[in-house]
Amino acid sequence: MTSPTLALSHVLRPLATLSPPSNSRTWQTAPHPSQPIVATACSDRTVRVYSLTSFTLLHSITGGHKRSVRSVGWKPGVRGQSVLATGSFDASAGIWRRREDDESEPKDFTNRNTGDSDEEEEDDDYQFACILDGHESEIKSLAWSPSGQYLATCSRDKSVWIWEELEDDNFETVAVLTEHDGDVKCVNWHPEEDLLVSSSYDDSVRLYREDSDDWVQVAAIDGHKMTVWWAAFEGSGMAKVDFRKQRDGLGEKQTQYIELLERSGPRLATCSDDCTVRLWRRRPRERHDGGTGMPSIIRSAAIDEDWLPEATLPQQHTRAVYSLSWSQKTGLIVSAGSDGKIIIYKERWKAPDAPSTSNGASNGASADDQNKDWMGEWALSEWVVVAELWEAHGVFEINHVTWAARRDKGVRWEGEEVVLSTGDDGEVRVWTLDELDVQEGEGSDADKMVDA
Amino acid sequence: MDPNKDNANPTILNPSDLPSRRRESTVKRRNDGASGLFDDLIPRYNYLNDPFEQSELSSDSEDGEFEHIDEQEVYDLISSISDPEHPLSLGSLAVVNLPDIRIQPPTSPFSSISTVVVEITPTITHCSLATVIGLGVRVRLEQALPPRFRVDVRIKKGTHSTDEAVNKQLGDKERVAAALENATLMGVLRKMLSTCE
């Protein structure tokens, strides 16, 4: 346990299993942006909505899809109701609505208003609102843009669709992007910009944005050697909360490095069948002086972005990594996959004597480029594994993992998060991340994790 | 010759030449020493603990009892699958062969997940049914083996013109799951697996 990339200072401990679990494979769990609930996409064609307060099932959304529900997503920024999008192997996406009561109203333990009449009972369920048809085969993933303006869906038909809700339940297709050569496994949005990422069976990752009313590819990322299962951006403004928060005592280079990261904006994390988790950073745009009157044809070229390989996280997985989540509260990354392990990674400054800071000289143009961008071995930060949990779902595979705000009574500090893992055993498990004592951390943490 | 078949004249092995538990002694032990018929005699982990305690510790979560599974048992599970276009078993067509089955033990003492790797040999290099056969093998093993086994089915290197593409497809969990929800494909698979006990 003395490896610099393995500093097990934390342990994942089981808090709850959402109950009752599904009888068949569960694919993905989406925490609601504000309510203490999650939606789980199930292979039995349903969506299960659980409480993160009581860890029990609140609603089962049935009758909408003819095949597995593969992906779910809550529309952000909606008031007075919850809007859920569901993507299915039946090639369609569904939109569901439920009126949300004022949180100050008294509720009984089933989270329903006391004294429901029949009419209200009906109103209490998730109502089917509309269906989004267009994909030719299974929908693999969907994601709302941070403003809620756009919904992106992707499919085995190799395409990514962007839908815009013009008014309630009236969705218009604003783009059909067909850049990939294989199934598109995942879509996600940049937290600050209308920038969409997709990852694919063709081993590549692509980014898109709108340019003169047309959505176009602005970057393609190659690097993974096999299917890229998931791609997700870092949260917004993370420099104020993660390892960059403590500015005292930093060297000049480290300060420059923080500024460089700030100019790049939120980074991108991807994970793959090749067992790796990788990070990518946008090369900051050069500043143009007086470049306002450029003709549109040049502007189109200027929209291209350069995403560079920043880091490969310590490789702890021995089989496909299906999912990762980047905490917007702490900057920690969690990953999980076919080997049944959950891994938590943390970023920190490299030791001052590390090669990156002492190695002033570099050979060759490409090394110079890398050096200039402070990528890869020139990065001033490094990622270490802080917690590792074996067989989090017994012998079953984990299909999805995500951070969520802790909402039960045992919450220990403001902003505490839990990890939610979704498995082939039909279970969604809730984990807390506990810091170990120094002595504990030095000792046989692995044994403790197995015991836990 | 049936022009509708990819391979109308396959080579067929005599059933008495196929490896089976009854004629164990005729089956050559694989010489890599890492796996073989005698696996169940060797403790899975002589690491950290008393070897005699190991089989108790690694008990199957499903039935509470650890069940040793070797290559021969895996072979027995899949050799009786019917070929989708011939009224013959995959064993007698030598599509599945005992030496091409490997069981890899857990990669760590903290894990009880083993991997079964099966390399299949399509009857001819452009056999369009290779994917269906591979899917049948994967589905059969996923249904018959305890969940602690990960099943990797591949086309044997150099025996198929598009083996990389087929392998990628057979290794993709999501594609396999979606295929099993396809009624037409399930009909074909059910017919193939109907000859399994």
pLDDT digit string, tens, across residues A343-357: 999 999 998 765 544
Is residue A210 one of the residues assigned to a domain?
A: yes
Is residue B65 one of the residues assigned to a domain?
A: no
Instruction: Report pLDDT for A163.
Output: 98
Contact state of B147 with A424 under an 8 Å Cβ cutoff: yes
Nearest to A384 by CA among A410, A407, A412, A351: A351
**CA–CA separation, A78 and B129 (whole Å):** 50
Domain tally, chain B = 2
pLDDT band at B43 (very low <50, low <70, confident <90, very high): very low
A140, A395, A424: which to substitute to probe chain B, counting the most B Cβ within 10 Å? A395
**CA–CA separation, A157 and A163 (whole Å):** 17
**CA–CA separation, B138 and B141 (whole Å):** 5
Is residue A377 one of the residues assigned to a domain?
A: yes
Q: Which span out of A293-297, B65-69, B122-126 was modeled with the highest average pLDDT?
A: B122-126
Q: What is the pLDDT of residues A372-407, one digit of tens each?
A: 788 888 899 999 999 999 999 999 999 999 999 999
Contact state of B171 with A394 under an 8 Å Cβ cutoff: no
What is residue B161's three-state secondary structure? coil
pTM metric for this prediction:
0.85
DSSP B37: G
Size of interface A-B (CB pairs under 8 A): 61
B168 CB neighbours in chain A (<8 A) are 201, 226-227
Contact state of A338 with B173 under an 8 Å Cβ cutoff: yes
Q: Kindly state the helix (H) or strand (E) to which residue A298 belongs, with its residue range.
A: helix A296-302
Is the Cα torsion angle A170, A174, A180, A181 positive or negative in sign? positive
Q: Does B38 share its domain with B85?
A: no
Span of A227-236, A363-372, B78-87, B157-166 with lowest mean pLDDT? A363-372
Contact state of B113 with A339 under an 8 Å Cβ cutoff: yes
Q: How many Å is the maximal CA-CA distance in chain B?
A: 61
DSSP A378: G
Nearest to A304 by CA among A291, A286, A290, A289: A286
Higher pLDDT, A238 or A368: A238
Q: Does B158 share its domain with B96?
A: yes
Contact state of A394 with B150 under an 8 Å Cβ cutoff: no
What is residue A31's three-state secondary structure? strand
**CA–CA separation, A199 and A221 (whole Å):** 9
Which residue of chain B comes nearest to A339, CA vs CA?
B113
Q: Does B186 share its domain with B92?
A: yes
pLDDT at position B4 over 70: no
Q: Which residues of A114-135 are buried (b: 16+ CB within 10 A; e: fewer)?
A: eeeeeeeeeebebeebeebebb
Q: Does B113 share its domain with B78?
A: yes
Could you tell me how far CA B166 lies from the centroid of its own chain? 16
Span of A30-34, A224-228, B32-36 with lowest mean pLDDT? B32-36
Tokens of B30: 């694989």
Is residue A113 one of the residues assigned to a domain?
A: no
The mean pLDDT value for B102-106 works out to: 95
- Tell me the one-letter amino acid at A142: L
What residues form DSSP beta bridges with A228? Answer: A272
The C-alpha R_g of chain B, in whole angstroms, comes to 18
B147 CB neighbours in chain A (<8 A) are 394-396, 424-425
Q: Which residues of A159-171 are buried (b: 16+ CB within 10 A; e: fewer)?
A: bbbbbebeeeeeb
Kindly tell me the number of DSSP H helices and DSSP E strands found in chain B.
6, 3
The 3-state DSSP composition of chain B as helix, strand, coil percent (nearest 5) reads: 40, 10, 50
* CATH, residue A338: 2.130.10.10
pLDDT at position B99 over 70: yes
Q: Does B40 share its domain with B108?
A: no
Cis peptide before B87 (omega within 30 of 0): no
Q: What is the pLDDT of residues A433-452, one digit of tens each?
A: 999 976 544 444 444 444 43
Q: Does B93 share its domain with B48?
A: no
Q: Does B171 share its domain with B140?
A: yes
Tokens of A299: 């502007």
Is residue B43 one of the residues assigned to a domain?
A: yes
Contact A331, A347 (CB under 8 A): yes
* CATH, residue B182: 3.30.300.130
The mean pLDDT value for A320-327 works out to: 98
Kindly tell me the number of DSSP H helices and DSSP E strands found in chain A.
7, 29
What does pLDDT average to over chain A? 88
Contact state of A320 with B113 under an 8 Å Cβ cutoff: no
Which residue of chain A comes nearest to B113, CA vs CA?
A395
The C-alpha R_g of chain A, in whole angstroms, comes to 22
Is residue A112 one of the residues assigned to a domain?
A: no
- Domain around B48: 23-58
Is residue B100 one of the residues assigned to a domain?
A: yes
Least CB-CB distance to B177: which of A43, A226, A339?
A43
Is residue A1 one of the residues assigned to a domain?
A: no
Tokens of A173: 């297709």
- Domain around A217: 10-107+122-286+303-447
Least CB-CB distance to A390: which of B111, B175, B178?
B111
Contact A420, A429 (CB under 8 A): yes
Quick check: A452 contacting B, CB < 8 Å?
no
Higher pLDDT, B126 or B153: B153
Which residue of chain B comes nearest to A395, CA vs CA?
B148
Is residue B6 one of the residues assigned to a domain?
A: no
What is residue A213's three-state secondary structure? coil
Instruction: Report pLDDT for A54.
Output: 98
Least CB-CB distance to A318: which of B107, B177, B178?
B107
Domain tally, chain A = 1
The mean pLDDT value for B45-55 works out to: 36
Contact A82, A111 (CB under 8 A): no
Is residue A160 one of the residues assigned to a domain?
A: yes
Is residue B27 one of the residues assigned to a domain?
A: yes
Instruction: Report pLDDT for A297.
Output: 52
DSSP A291: -
- Tell me the one-letter amino acid at B181: E
Tokens of A37: 């609930």
Span of A41-50, A404-413, B1-10 with lowest mean pLDDT? B1-10
Instruction: Report pLDDT for A282.
Output: 96
What is residue A335's three-state secondary structure? strand
Within 8 A by CB and 6+ apart from A403, the residues are A325, A326, A327, A328, A329, A332, A334, A417, A418, A419, A420
Is residue A291 one of the residues assigned to a domain?
A: no
Residue for token pair 């198929």: B160
Angle between helices B130-144 and B71-79 (to 10 degrees): 120
Q: Does B35 share its domain with B116?
A: no
Q: What is the pLDDT of residues A266-318, one digit of tens each?
A: 999 999 999 999 999 999 976 554 445 454 455 556 789 999 999 999 999 99
Q: What is the ipTM of this complex?
A: 0.86
Cis peptide before A20 (omega within 30 of 0): yes
Is residue B14 one of the residues assigned to a domain?
A: no
Q: Does B50 share its domain with B74?
A: no
Q: Is A181 exposed, middle or buried (0-12, 13-18, 19+ CB in 10 A)?
A: exposed
Q: Does B87 share its domain with B181?
A: yes
DSSP A424: T
Q: Does B91 share its domain with B182?
A: yes
Q: Does B114 share its domain with B187?
A: yes
**CA–CA separation, A364 and A36 (whole Å):** 54
Quick check: A393 contacting B, CB < 8 Å?
no
Is residue B7 one of the residues assigned to a domain?
A: no
Is residue A292 one of the residues assigned to a domain?
A: no
Nearest to A24 by CA among A10, A5, A43: A43
Is residue B156 one of the residues assigned to a domain?
A: yes
B44, B108, B172: which to substitute to probe chain A, counting the most A Cβ within 10 Å? B172
What is residue A86's three-state secondary structure? strand
